[in-house]
Structure 1
Amino acid sequence: MSRGVLWVSSRIVHPDKLSAEKFCDWYENTHAKEVLVLPGVPSAARYTALQQKLSRPYYSNEAPWLTLYEFPDLSYKDSQGFKGIKPPGADLIEDVYKNVRFDIRFYEEVQVVEGSTSSPPKFLISAALDPPKDAASTDDFDAWYRQEHIPMLERAPGFVRSRRFKLSNATVINEFQVGDVTEEAPRFLALHEFSGEALPWKEIAESTSTEWAKRVWGGLEKEEVGWYELGKVYSESEWGHVGK
């Protein structure tokens, strides 16, 4: 039994037809709960892109909302219960789905590193990356994470947890047009969580400035990095019916 996450980023493609307020109200108060009532999805967290000027455009500038659904057993995604989620009605398709893009990916967990802080996480770095597909590059990428990058982040103020994943499958729903993009999506995902009033920018910059880091980042074939702030947590302690 492998743990994993359902990683869903979203963006509005027709802001003249759908406001952010209406979209978020529907997603956070209706759609997310429709997923969370399923027995194989006990919790989730909803994030919003940091409202902070960054040094360059990042993935979170394009897709300002990210939701992570926790799957204690990733194989649940192939169950009839999960596949049987009620499809949207005609009004919802016109009002919401035809005006948004969802990037939907299932990732299998491969590494977890817990920090020593007891503070709840407030910030998330989502790094979906694709090194060259040859074995040597992939092994070097994995070794860099395990031996250098995460140990450096672990020493940063407010570090809560780092989790790493490998891609299972990926789909895009753009203006209600569905496409399988498993071959195009980044194969690896890292989720780094931090508490505190701000991200430890100095330590994060240092962790990507070593010679090893420069070699890894310089060879990437795809790079989707998002900087997010926690907006809402869905858990069984708050929603008694969730996951039941």
Structure 2
Amino acid sequence: MSEIVFRSRFDNGRRKAFERSPKVSLTSPDFYFSHCFGVCRKKTSMGPPGIIWVASRVTQPDKLSEERFCEWYEGQHIDEVTALSGVPAAARYEAVPMSELAGPPTAETIKAAEQRPDYLMGGKWLTIYEMKDVDFRHTAEFKSLDGQSKPKGNLLDEIFTKAHFETRFGALLSNDDKGIKKGPGKLIISATMTPGSRASAEDIEQFYEREHVAEIAKCPGYVRTRRFRWVDTTVLKEFERLPADPIEPGNSVVALHEFEGPYFPMEGLLKADETPWTARVLESLKKNGIEAGFYRLKRVYGEWLPGSSKL
């Protein structure tokens, strides 16, 4: 179960067909290629630039240490992905504790962090792969990756059955790349919203374009904001597929806000969230329709260019 494994692309028809189909072995080709990936499409045109977004964590630390997990993922797996022709770069991040967002932890921030917000993401690590074309995920080259079919060697037992991966593919919507540096910022916020209606989705689009990105850009250390629409998503916990609810491919949108500095500019971020338009947007979301995570950069891979729109 790698962080990019098993793209789950079921439309309603495929899902019903899967539910009606006879049981198949987890190691059979029918399971991996028919049920996990759907029918291969012949690519006729370029899709939009995009990302593979992968949140992960170890679920059985008594059997798989975080050190071993990172050794495999950061020392082997990411290199294999960025060696592909359609994935030129990646950035690896680690979650920042809530008590350390704005500065060194204090007794006050540690106590406050005990009240974990419902919207906070659960993955300890986040990896973002840059894609020249988000439809590259349909190609035979991409599907040849270890983990896009049955994992080789002992990876299934050693890694995949003892970890949790959430994999999403995002198509680029906008790129505000006017910050203080090129390349990944040292800090990133991943914020996904799932609109509750078509009107809500349109309002969120205007909210980002006309207000929110400009407010975020006022924060010290601002690097960029990129927005993507999720087009595919899958959750794999210990090699078992789970629903991705409340994330909805085609509806849910993520904003990636990047900053340079040792800590997040929380004063400016909180100020940006205090506007009447922000309140209206939050009220319009689906139940549990917001998700956010705060991460610090660990390592950069490949030829990273400033913004997917320039890949």
TM-score normalised by structure 2 residue count? 0.71
CA distance in 2, matches of 1:116, 1:176: 40
> How do 1:1-244 and structure 2 match up within 5 A?
1=46, 2-53=48-99, 55=113, 56-57=115-116, 62-86=122-146, 87-118=150-181, 121-132=185-196, 134-179=197-242, 181=244, 184-186=246-248, 187-221=252-286, 222-236=289-303
Code of the residue aligned with 1:223 in structure 2: it is: I
Give 1 or 2: higher strand fraction: 1
What secondary structure is seen at the aligned counterpart in 2 of 1:14? coil
Higher Cα Rg, which structure:
2
- Greater shift, 55-64 or 228-237, is seen at 55-64
Q: Is the 8 A contact 2:192 2:292 kept in 1?
A: yes
- Please report how far the alpha carbon of residue 161 of structure 1 lies from its aligned counterpart in structure 2 after TM superposition: 0.4
Distance 1:40 1:180, change over 3 A: farther
- Please report how far the alpha carbon of residue 61 of structure 1 lies from its aligned counterpart in structure 2 after TM superposition: 5.7
Tell me how many residue pairs correspond in the alignment.
Answer: 235
CA distance in 2, matches of 1:154, 1:61: 23
Code of the residue aligned with 1:69 in structure 2: it is: Y
What secondary structure is seen at the aligned counterpart in 2 of 1:171? strand
Q: Any runs of at least 4 consecutive aligned residues in structure 1 with deviations exceeding 6 A, and if so which?
A: none
CA distance in 2, matches of 1:46, 1:172: 19
- Please report how far the alpha carbon of residue 41 of structure 1 lies from its aligned counterpart in structure 2 after TM superposition: 0.4
Q: Is the 8 A contact 2:194 2:246 kept in 1?
A: no
Q: Is the 8 A contact 1:49 1:61 kept in 2?
A: no
CA distance in 2, matches of 1:4, 1:189: 12
Code of the residue aligned with 1:214 in structure 2: it is: A
Identity %: 36
What secondary structure is seen at the aligned counterpart in 1 of 2:220? coil
**What are the ranges of 5 or more consecutive residues in structure 2 without an aligned counterpart?**
1-45, 102-112, 305-311
Distance 1:185 1:52, change over 3 A: closer
**CA shift digits 1:127-179 (9 cap, x unpaired):** 111121x2211111111111111000111111100000111111112111235
- Please report how far the alpha carbon of residue 184 of structure 1 lies from its aligned counterpart in structure 2 after TM superposition: 4.1
Q: Is the 8 A contact 2:223 2:259 kept in 1?
A: yes
**2:9 corresponds to:** none
**CA shift digits 1:13-51 (9 cap, x unpaired):** 111111111111110001111111111100000000013
Q: Is the 8 A contact 1:48 1:64 kept in 2?
A: yes
- Please report how far the alpha carbon of residue 52 of structure 1 lies from its aligned counterpart in structure 2 after TM superposition: 4.2
What secondary structure is seen at the aligned counterpart in 2 of 1:88? coil
Code of the residue aligned with 2:137 in structure 1: it is: K
What secondary structure is seen at the aligned counterpart in 2 of 1:67? strand
TM-score normalised by structure 1 residue count? 0.90
- Please report how far the alpha carbon of residue 95 of structure 1 lies from its aligned counterpart in structure 2 after TM superposition: 1.1
Code of the residue aligned with 1:73 in structure 2: it is: D
